[in-house]
Every structure is written in C-alpha cells, then in structure tokens.
Structure 1
Amino acid sequence: MSSILTKLLGKQVYVKMSGESYFQGVLTDFGQDVLVLFNGQQYIYIPLLHVHRINLNTDMKNYVDNPSEYSLAEETESLSYRKILTNAKGIFTEIYVTRNLTFHGYVTNVLSNYLAFYSPVYKLIFIPLEHLKWLTPYNQSTTPYTLSNEKLPVNSSNVPLLRSFEEQLKKAEGKLVVFDAGLDPSKIGLLKMVENNFAELANASGETVYLKLNHIKSVQLP
C-alpha cells in the first residue's frame, strides 16, 4: 500500500470517501492509516478506513497550489491518525462524523478507541474513532464563532475518562445522554444499562430503546 501511495505524493488527486463524498487537492503525506490532503485552503486528514478510491486529477482547471502552511503531519515519524489527533489538541478544528453531523471545537483527549472533544456549542462530546470520517483544522487566526477568549474556555471537563468507549458509557449509566447530537429524538434519554455492545435507553416518552454501540457516532452528557 505504501509503495502505491508513494507514487501519488505531491500529485493532484481525487479521493472518493464513504457516503459519496469527494475531495480534490494535493496529496502531501500519508501514514499507515491516514492520508493528508491539501485542498488549496486547508489540510484534510482522512482515515484510510473511509477511503474508497484515489485517482489522479488530470483536469488542469481544478488544480490547487502546493501548500505553504504548516501540516500536523510535519516532523512526525511513523505517521498515524492517532498522532494527527494528538497533534491537533488545542487547535480549533472541524470534525466530520456523518453527512448531517459535524462538530467544531477542540480535541482534548485521545483514548484507545474514542476521543474526547470540546465544542463551544455542545460542550464535552465522546466520538468513537471508527466514525471519524475526516478532520480539518482551521487557520490559527480563526476565532471560533467570533467569541472572545473569556467566553471560550477550552474545558476538558472534570469527567474521568476511561480507556474504552464502552467503559466510558457504562460510567454514564443512570444519567441523561444525547446520542448523535439528538438528531433522532429516540436517541435522547436516560441511559439504563450498557452491556454486550448494546445501550438500553429510556427516551422522553418512557419507551425503552436498545442501541448497538458500534452505530453510535457521538455521545454528550447534558
């Protein structure tokens, strides 16, 4: 795999992603599980897990200039997506989870199979790494939501973080939770139990819903 991608380094490419998403730009770097693409304005860090196809861009009209900005992959030996996430700590970032679910904020911790993310809007969020489709850091001069530093504390929270996503959810048993940003009302409620890769949730009407953990894309604790 690495020898094939080496042929594309520095080249103009198209990348087809899960969910029929496409990117185009310069392939600036890659690692064992990550691509680094520059689209002419920003770097996009893409897990190979979600890449379906890469091909050369032969349309001169769509070419982008080579980057002059600093990349999170620079000065990183044995590049991996985990290292990219660790390097992104403290940088205002967009994280894309699924077509209608994107978060803007800061990576605060990277655990074994999930990350803790602080959003000025949603506050503390847990996101399983398998559902993170790509990450795009904003320009360092970008002010989140035009908020002042006094109104934008990067709050890593006093919630103790456990190693795995399932362990972290079990810690929330008996509390209100919001799964997948509450886009589906049946994914908001009281977390009754987490066991054998399922979450038992009592929603607002009192109905019990059983959710498979590996399909939960984000978790918030109101």
Structure 2
Amino acid sequence: MNIYLNQPVSLTVSGSRVPLKGTLVELGSDILVLHNGTRLLYVPLVHLQQLTRCPASESGVGPPPDPPLEGTAEVSYRKVLMNAKGMFSELYIAGNPSVHGYVTSIMNDFFVFCSPLYRSLYVSMKHLKTLIPYGGENTPYALGQEKFPVHPMPATLARTFDQQLKKFEGEFIVLNLGEHPGKIGMLKSVSGSLIELVIADGTSTFIHLDHVKTIHKP
C-alpha cells in the first residue's frame, strides 16, 4: 500500500456503511492514517476490507494538518493509543454511533475510555474501527473540568479483556453500548469463551467473548 501514500484513496472498513475517503498520510504495521479533509483518522488495519485509489475530485481533501498526536519513528496501534491518552477523541466501534471522551488506561488487549455518556467504557482493541483525536483545547460537548473531570481509574484493572469482564460477575452491565436488549443484564458467569447474561425477563442468554466489543456499568 506504500504506493498510495499521499494519494487520495477510498477505504472500505468493517462496520462502516459508506467508504472512508481522503488522503493516505501514514502507514504502519497495524494501522493507517487517513486525512478526510477535516481530521486525521487512525484505522487499525485488521478492519481494512479494501483500499483503492480514487480521483482527487472525489476525495475533496486539501493538505493534511499537523498531526494532533506526537510523531513516532513508526506509527503503530499501541503507540497511537498511548499518545492519545488524555486527549479529547472520538471512537467508532462497529454497529454503534461514535463515542466522545478520553483514553485513560491501556492494557494488553483493551483500553478504558472515559466518556460523559458512558463514564468508564472498556473497549476491546480488536473491535475499535477508527480513532479520531481532536487535539487543541476541545472538550466533549464543551464541558469544563468541573462538569466532566478526567481522572485515572480508581479500581485495579485486569490485564486482559476477559479477566476484566470476570471482575464484573454478579453485577449489572451493558455490552456493546446497549445496541441490543439481549446484551444488557446481570453478568452471571464468564466461563472460557462464553459469558452468561441474565436479561430483563430473568432468562439467561449466552454470548461468545469474541462478540463483546465494549463493557460499561450504568
């Protein structure tokens, strides 16, 4: 894909209904950076279904701005997350609208995202589709620190996503931002790759861990 660096391209990304268009400004081993005319989008390569060149007239993109994240010798997914800590950002996760807030902690295979709407959101790294850092003095919904303070997590975090989920056994949780009522309920157990969730009518539903994108506690 290096032949398309600094060229207008069209990306088909998992979970996105329309292609992402812009200028391919950087390419790492597991992530790419696209300038869409307004902001820089960081897209993990694992979700790239197709990348093709498109006419410059279709991209509608001018010169890219200075990157909001600190430069590194080679861009990578984990480095991007580390550099985005504490910076107002927007996330896209498959099947859900975007979420605004701050990356606060990064573990082995998930990170914690502090959001005014969801508070502490635990996000599986393999399900993040796009990260858009805003930079500057922007804050979510123009909220000041007194309205939406960002603090490190007071509780001890597990190293992996499945271990973090297991910490919530016996508690009421919401999976995947509540996109489906069958993913809201009391977490009864985590056993291997299956979780048992007791939903609103009192029945149990079973979900494979690979399909859990996010966790939060209302």
Structure 2 CA distance for aligned equivalents of residues 62 and 161 of structure 1: 42
**For the aligned residues, what is the CA RMSD?**
1.5
| Matching of residue 192 in structure 1 with residue 188 in structure 2 | yes
Q: Cα 1:29–1:71, aligned 2, differ >3 Å: closer, same or farther?
A: farther
AA of the residue aligned to 2:211: H
Counterpart of 2:41 in structure 1: which amino acid?
I
The aligned counterpart of 2:176 is 180
Which secondary structure state, in structure 1, belongs to the residue aligned with residue 201 of structure 2? coil
1:71 and 1:139 map into 2 onto residues whose CA distance is 5
**Contact residue 124 and residue 156 of structure 1 kept, 8 A:** no
Name 1:51's counterpart in structure 2. 48
CA distance, structure 1, for counterparts of residue 81 and residue 213 of structure 2: 17
> What percentage of aligned pairs have identical amino acids?
39
Aligned match of 2:90: 94
Tell me the alpha carbon deviations over residues 143-184 of structure 1, each in whole angstroms, 9 at most, x when there is no partner.
311212211101333121111100111111111111112221
Count the aligned residue pairs. 217
Within 5 Å, which residues of 2 pair with 1:60-209?
60=57, 62-72=59-69, 74-209=70-205
Residue 61 of structure 1 deviates from its aligned partner by: 5.2
- TM-score (normalised: structure 1): 0.92
Amino acid at match of 1:12: P
Give the CA deviation at 1:78.
2.8
> What per-residue deviation string (whole Å, max 9, x for no partner) do you get for residues 8-66 of structure 1?
11111111112343111111111001010111110000011111111112242533111
Matched AA of 1:43: L
Unaligned runs of 5+ residues in structure 1 are none
For 2:34 and 2:203, the matched residues in 1 are separated by 45
Could you tell me which runs of 5 or more consecutive residues in structure 2 were left unpaired when the two chains were aligned: none
* Cα contact 1:37–1:43 (8 A) shared by 2: yes
Equivalent-residue separation in structure 1 for 2:169 and 2:176 (angstroms): 17
Partner Cα separation in structure 2 for residue 204 and residue 155 of structure 1: 32
Instruction: Indicate the larger mover: 98-107 or 82-91.
Output: 98-107
For the Cα contact (< 8 Å) 1:101–1:180, is it kept in 2? no
SS at match of 2:4: coil
Instruction: Name which of structure 1's ranges 93-102 and 42-51 shifts more when overlaid on structure 2.
Output: 93-102
Q: What is the one-letter code of the residue matched to 2:182?
A: S
Match of 1:211 in 2: 207
Q: Does the 8 Å CA contact 2:68/2:134 hold for their aligned counterparts?
A: no
Check 1:205–1:59 CA distance in 2 against 1; reply closer, same or farther (3 A cut): same
Structure 1 stretches of 4+ moved >6 Å: none
* Contact residue 24 and residue 39 of structure 1 kept, 8 A: yes
The worse-fitting range, judged by mean Cα deviation, of 131-140 and 40-49 is 131-140
